[in-house]
Amino acid sequence: MTNGKGLLEIPIFRKLSNAFWMLLDYTLPDKLRLSLKYRRRFHRKLDWDNPKRFTEKIQWMKIYGRTPINMVMSDKYAVKKYIKERIGEQYVIPLLGVWDRPEDIDFSQLPDRFVLKCNHNSGTGMYICRDKSKLDENAVRKGLRKGLRQDYYVGSREYAYKGIPRKIIAEEYMEDAETKELRDYKFFCFDGEPKALFIAKDRLQGEHAVTFDFFDMDYNHLPFTNGHPNAAVLPEKPKCFEEMKALAATLSKGIPHVRVDFYEVNGKVYFGEFTFSHWGGLMPFDPDEWDYTFGSWLKLPKRQNLVPGFQKDI
């Protein structure tokens, strides 16, 4: 302690600590890095041999449950074809363009409202345009360059993101007329069986305003939090709830665990994304018992030791 403050509250020590952990991100093999990251986050040892918790099993799946299809399903560009073939093109958010470099984008060819994002990460470089007359092209290109440089695999060792050919995509801007936002409906699925979902609200208000509310498949509210607080007023049941639930079951069949995300826009369902490692498996449940509940739903597959191109860094 220094003057009543922990060392990490002092900017220079915080920067040094962050630099140290970043160095470990780039130098340690996957399994060791995940063990250290898990202990640092939860203050307990990760049980690789007999994992019980959801947060433990997610780490196990990163190492021993890798399959090449995860890469296709995690690629925000390639997954559009995958969804079209599995459930139909009507569920795909329309693609407006795809580029390898920000410099190749001709903004004059895009509509007044659109969304730009990188296909290999989550958030960094994204730009939501609601009025093209206010767009700063140089700033947008700068953000996209930063996004393309990001190695999304490094942070939590999600191998599906490591080999994705990096691109920029433009999608149609989506907003529900009733909620005045684009709410996420995220289904936790286990071998074709959706068991729970959460609804993410108020993302447009900034990270501090985001709420997560979890429900079971009968739309009963579940009494826990994970990453964000519950909303003061619970979100109403989406009109297309049963359709989304059925689609989630179809898309997750044969997969030990995947989170299947949808949007509901003006009475229509659109696919959002697949996520194999919710919060990277590094976000506590409150109360903690729900870590075991979700863990009980995830039946680990046979350990995959030699999947070509997916097991080199164990």
Could you tell me which CATH class the domain 52-91+179-300 is placed in?
A: alpha beta
DSSP states along 51-101 = --SHHHHHHHHHHHS--THHHHHH-TTHHHHHHHHHT-GGGSPPEEEEESS
Is there a contact between 152 and 273 (Cβ–Cβ < 8 Å)? no
Q: 312 pLDDT exceeds 60?
A: no
Indicate the pairing of strand 184-190 with strand 193-201: antiparallel
**H helical segments located in 127-171:** 137-149, 152-156
Percent of the chain whose predicted confidence (pLDDT) is above 90: 80
Based on its alpha-carbon atoms, the radius of gyration of the chain, rounded to whole angstroms, reads: 20
Q: Which residues sit opposite 187 in a β-bridge? A: 197, 260
Instruction: Please enumerate in sequence order all residues whose Cβ is within 8 A of that of 131, keeping only pairs 6 or more positions apart, or say none.
Output: 112, 113
* CATH topology assigned to domain 94-173: Dna Ligase; domain 1 (3.30.1490)
Full-prediction pTM beyond 0.75? yes
Is there a contact between 225 and 286 (Cβ–Cβ < 8 Å)? yes
Torsion angle of the four alpha carbons 23, 28, 34, 39, in this order, in degrees rounded to the nearest 10: -70
Q: Which residues sit opposite 225 in a β-bridge? A: 286
Q: 234 pLDDT exceeds 50?
A: yes
User: 89-143: per-residue pLDDT in tens?
Assistant: 999 999 999 999 999 999 999 999 999 999 999 989 999 999 999 999 999 999 9
Confidence at residue 27, expressed as pLDDT on a 0 to 100 scale: 85
Is there a contact between 276 and 257 (Cβ–Cβ < 8 Å)? yes
User: 237-292: per-residue pLDDT in tens?
Assistant: 999 999 999 999 999 999 999 999 999 999 999 999 999 999 999 999 999 999 99
User: 131-153: per-residue pLDDT in tens?
Assistant: 999 999 999 999 999 999 999 99
